[in-house]
Structure 1
């Protein structure tokens, strides 16, 4: 694997692990400055740290990948109009894949609600700026790491199915909900297919961003009217 790929992965891991320590350090600084540390303040600090850390991680990742983006192979890429069609079609493909995975999970007795999604929605309700991460920054980072880097590297050695399977399972476990590995893996397979079909990482990025945005909007506005099956299908696949 290229060294710049490792730099991106390490950046992502550091960003994910930084939350607890950063919040504690900022909280201590606030206390030393005479600010009363309440649960609401800690949640506030955590929310804004999520936004800050994801944006910084994306900036560093794009910096590390700058040469990769300059030397991309244009020969096997689909045309821009076809890529746009695949991008929009990918939204529905991802939703359909989630639907099938949701039905399979339900058939084997897996609880349909996602604690990850519920926590994200609760945080967005309190701090709408977090939607910037769930809908844009998070999906971009995940597509760079799980599709461009992990899937792309595996695909040079293995066939599509094995490469997509391994990268999608990793993508699923990265969301820390192993009981819903089918749902997250279904999304991973879809985005990997979009990437290999168009040879443009922007296509799965667009589909991922659009799907997450749609899920957040629907869940926030119509959550009370969704039944359990619909909730199982409406997972956010771009934020940990």
Structure 2
């Protein structure tokens, strides 16, 4: 594995764990330096730190990814731009289809279709709307770089697509810390790995991932009006959760 990829993985893990020291530091700064009321700062700290840490993390990751790209010489297998664009659009529907299938299968085992992960993100968005930039753009881009470009791509150099796709997708699912929905996240990860495998362009899986999360956020925000026309179970099967 390239050293730049190692740096990216380390950056991603540190970003996810940064709230351990980030929350108390930001809370202290808000109360003592900016004289925010403690109650207000307690509410703002999680979403504000999420935005700050993801933006900084994305900048660092893109820096190392650019350095790694300079050493990549073989671009012969990359699908041309036209077909790749079609795959990107098709990928959005593929992801929703995978999510619907996974949700239906999980329901057969009595697993609730609502996602705690999605609910927590929506709470952060309500507190600090800029979190939308993280859930819809920065987050998906980082996940595609880490789980598809690096983890899947590294495994694919030695193993078949099935082995590489399943292993990387299960890791992707575990990273979302919702064991009850591990199958759903893993199937979505496999769909995104398929897009990357077919086009050799990480931007294709990024587009599908970003588009899907954006649609889910919009649908969740419109939920009070949408639920009037869709049954609860059908609604969650349709829009699923953030990945």
With structure 1 as the length reference, what TM-score do the two structures score? 0.93
Correspondence for 1:3: 3
Cα deviation code 1:211-238 (max 9, x no counterpart): 000111011113560512431452101x
**C-alpha deviations, 1:145-176, integer Å up to 9, x for none?**
00000000001111001100010000001011
The CA distance in 1 between the partners of 2:21 and 2:191, in whole Å, is 35
Which residue of structure 2 lines up, in the alignment, with residue 186 of structure 1? Answer: 187
Is the contact made by 1:139 and 1:208 (CA closer than 8 Å) also made in structure 2?
yes
- Contact kept, 8 Å, 1:27 with 1:37, in 2: the verdict is no
Change (3 A) 1:31 1:222: closer
Per-residue Cα deviation, 1:114-134 (whole angstroms, up to 9, x for no partner): 111011112212211100000
Structure 2 counterpart of 1:102: 103
Query: Is residue 124–residue 131 contact of structure 1 (8 Å, CA) maintained in 2?
Result: yes
Contact 2:4 2:64 in 1 (8 A): yes
For residues 29-108 of structure 1, the aligned pairs below 5 Å read 29-33=29-33, 35=35, 37-70=37-70, 71=72, 73-108=74-109
Distance 2:38 2:99 in 1: 39
Long gaps (5+) in structure 2: none
1:201 maps to what in 2?
A: 202
Q: Tell me what 2:149 maps to.
A: 148
Which string of whole-angstrom CA distances, capped at 9 and with x for unpartnered residues, describes residues 70-112 of structure 1? 3353211111110000000000000000111001100011111
CA contact (8 A) 1:30 1:36 kept: yes
Q: Distance in 1 between matches of 2:215 and 2:79?
A: 26
SS at match of 1:65: helix
Aligned to 2:24: 24
Once structures 1 and 2 are overlaid, which stretch shifts more, 196-205 or 122-131?
Answer: 122-131
TM-score, L = length of structure 2:
0.92
Classify 1:34/1:214 alpha carbon distance in 2 versus 1 (closer, same or farther; 3 Å).
closer
Aligned to 2:172: 171
